């Protein structure tokens, strides 16, 4: 009983310890839908279920696990309560299960409720903060709002998938919900992966320090411009929307991402960001292969970045911080497998006659990458930080 109580306290203080394993399991389940479909184990096409499992299951679990751990620490507020943790985990898993069952409207509604619960928990801690979060985290908050609004729009307009509200909601949910938090967190995390000081680091303070508001306003303007590009896209202004999105992201990264310093995980994070931008450029240059280009963003961008950040979190909270600066051979294997998954998925749209073969190959490579990552990283989520 005492060990169970201690484990629950650890989960509440560091939610990544339960959300990261849940996320990798949901990701494998979401990708496995293609293997089941092309082996005649599913009768309905799993496109929507796959997309929802990867965004609302895999990505959301890592986002909640990271922010649920970092948020209270950054603001010097109490960790999540047991009720908050169980509510978030239950809604996250229930939404994924409902999607697998084919009731997407219910799954999207549950996911919106999950994010509302999470935003309330984080917002409550922001109000009671002892220290202020980084100004770039305005993008994180906007990303969570993207997820809530997007999930509600696709739930309400599920019967009108070609309508403007549904398409706009899908863009907010499937891209904005993940893209904006990544843009908000990357400039904060990269110096810590590189072990370099930031000359522009703001002082810790409960009141917003001098210079915080202009930087937060800039980050929010970047996020709102990206959302505006999604709205333009839903009205058919595809080329302008795509180039606007690329331009504003490139501008933001050139200003906020540090250029000096080298480390293995730092370079991995940079590679993921570069892949993300290249995928958006490919979408702009070859719109006829838009879905394949977006999988450059999803697989070698979002997935690779999320797994990189998760290594930093797990190792840092299990007494393995000394590994940050070392080359990790297993993660090189993961990177290669994700690259192969991305190439297979992109080729699937070019080779219509062999589409199924390439989708199965892409799914197999992604699952292999997830298994390798999980085998090497997840055992450490059970190890408390010795310094604490």
pLDDT tens profile 58-104: 999 999 999 999 999 988 899 999 999 999 999 999 999 999 999 99
By the 8 A CB rule, do 337 and 295 touch? no
Query: Which are the contacts of 344, defined by CB distance < 8 A and separation ≥ 6?
Result: 358, 359, 361, 362, 365
Query: Which are the contacts of 217, defined by CB distance < 8 A and separation ≥ 6?
Result: 138
pLDDT at 29 exceeding the cut of 90: yes
Is 248 among the domain residues?
A: no
Is 196 among the domain residues?
A: no
Total domain count for the chain? 1
**Where is pLDDT greater, at 192 or 301?**
301
pLDDT tier, 317 (very low <50, low <70, confident <90, very high otherwise):
confident
| Domain housing 357 | 283-388
The pLDDT of residue 9 is 85
Is 343 among the domain residues?
A: yes
102-159 pLDDT per residue, tens: 999 999 999 999 999 999 999 999 888 888 888 999 999 999 999 999 999 999 999 9
**Where is pLDDT greater, at 117 or 257?**
117
Of 277, 279, 289, 301, nearest to 348 by C-alpha is: 289
pLDDT at 355 exceeding the cut of 80: yes
Dist. CA 370–CA 79, nearest whole Å: 29
Question: Residue 376 burial (CB < 10 Å; 0-12/13-18/19+)?
Answer: middle
Is 58 among the domain residues?
A: no
**Where is pLDDT greater, at 321 or 369?**
369
Is 339 among the domain residues?
A: yes
pLDDT at 205 exceeding the cut of 80: no
The pLDDT of residue 147 is 98
pLDDT at 194 exceeding the cut of 70: no
Please state the rounded mean pLDDT for residues 18-25: 97
Dist. CA 251–CA 148, nearest whole Å: 27
Q: Could you tell me the two tokens for 17?
A: 């310890």
By the 8 A CB rule, do 299 and 366 touch? yes
Classify the phi-psi angles of 11: left when phi > 0, otherwise alpha if psi is within -120 to 50, otherwise beta. alpha
Is 92 among the domain residues?
A: no
Is 311 among the domain residues?
A: yes
211-254 pLDDT per residue, tens: 889 999 999 999 999 999 999 999 999 999 999 999 999 999 99
The pLDDT of residue 131 is 85
- The share of the chain scoring above pLDDT 70, in percent, equals 95
Dist. CA 198–CA 134, nearest whole Å: 12
Selection from 4-8, 43-47, 52-56 with the highest mean pLDDT: 52-56
Is 79 among the domain residues?
A: no
Please state the rounded mean pLDDT for residues 32-50: 93
By the 8 A CB rule, do 20 and 61 touch? yes
Q: Which own/partner contact pairs does 153-157 have at CB distance under 8 Å and 24+ positions apart?
A: 154/104, 154/108, 155/104, 155/105, 155/106, 155/108, 155/109, 155/112
**Where is pLDDT greater, at 268 or 326?**
268
Cα 311 from chain centre: 14
Torsion of CA 221, 188, 310, 282, to 10 degrees: 50
Of 214, 220, 213, nearest to 184 by C-alpha is: 220
pLDDT tier, 262 (very low <50, low <70, confident <90, very high otherwise):
confident
pLDDT at 2 exceeding the cut of 70: no
**Where is pLDDT greater, at 211 or 300?**
300
How many other CB atoms sit within 10 Å of the CB of residue 78? 12
The pLDDT of residue 5 is 66
């Amino acid at each position: 009983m005492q060990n169970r109580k201690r484990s629950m306290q650890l989960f509440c203080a560091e939610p990544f310890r339960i959300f990261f394993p849940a996320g990798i399991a949901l990701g494998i389940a979401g990708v496995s839908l293609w293997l089941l479909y092309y082996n005649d184990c599913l009768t309905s096409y799993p496109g929507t279920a796959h997309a929802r499992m990867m965004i609302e299951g895999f990505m959301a679990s890592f986002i909640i696990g990271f922010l649920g751990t970092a948020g209270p620490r950054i603001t010097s507020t109490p960790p999540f309560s047991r009720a908050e943790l169980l509510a978030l985990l239950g809604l996250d898993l229930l939404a994924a299960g409902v999607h697998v069952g084919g009731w997407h409207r219910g799954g999207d509604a549950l996911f919106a409720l999950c994010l509302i619960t999470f935003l309330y928990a984080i917002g409550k801690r922001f109000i009671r903060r002892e220290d202020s979060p980084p100004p770039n985290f305005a993008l994180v908050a906007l990303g969570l709002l993207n997820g809530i609004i997007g999930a509600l729009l696709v739930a309400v307009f599920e019967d009108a998938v070609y309508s403007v509200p549904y398409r706009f909601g899908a863009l907010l949910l499937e891209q904005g919900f993940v893209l904006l938090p990544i843009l908000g967190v990357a400039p904060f995390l990269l110096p810590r992966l590189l072990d370099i000081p930031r000359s522009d680091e703001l002082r810790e303070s409960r009141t917003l320090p001098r210079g915080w508001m202009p930087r937060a306003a800039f980050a929010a303007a970047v996020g709102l411009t990206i959302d505006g590009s999604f709205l333009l896209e839903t009205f058919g202004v595809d080329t302008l929307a795509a180039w606007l999105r690329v331009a504003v992201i490139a501008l933001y990264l050139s200003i906020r991402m540090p250029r000096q310093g080298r480390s293995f995980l730092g370079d991995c994070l940079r590679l993921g960001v570069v892949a993300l931008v290249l995928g958006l450029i490919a979408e702009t240059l070859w719109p006829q292969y838009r879905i394949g280009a977006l999988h450059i963003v999803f697989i070698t961008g979002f997935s690779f970045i999320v797994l990189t950040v998760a290594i930093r979190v797990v190792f840092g909270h299990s007494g393995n911080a000394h590994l940050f600066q070392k080359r990790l051979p297993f993660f090189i294997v993961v990177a290669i497998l994700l690259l192969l998954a991305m190439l297979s998925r992109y080729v699937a749209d070019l080779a219509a006659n062999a589409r199924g073969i390439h989708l199965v190959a892409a799914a197999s490579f992604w699952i292999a990458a997830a298994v390798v990552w999980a085998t090497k990283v997840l055992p450490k989520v059970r190890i408390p930080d010795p310094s604490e």
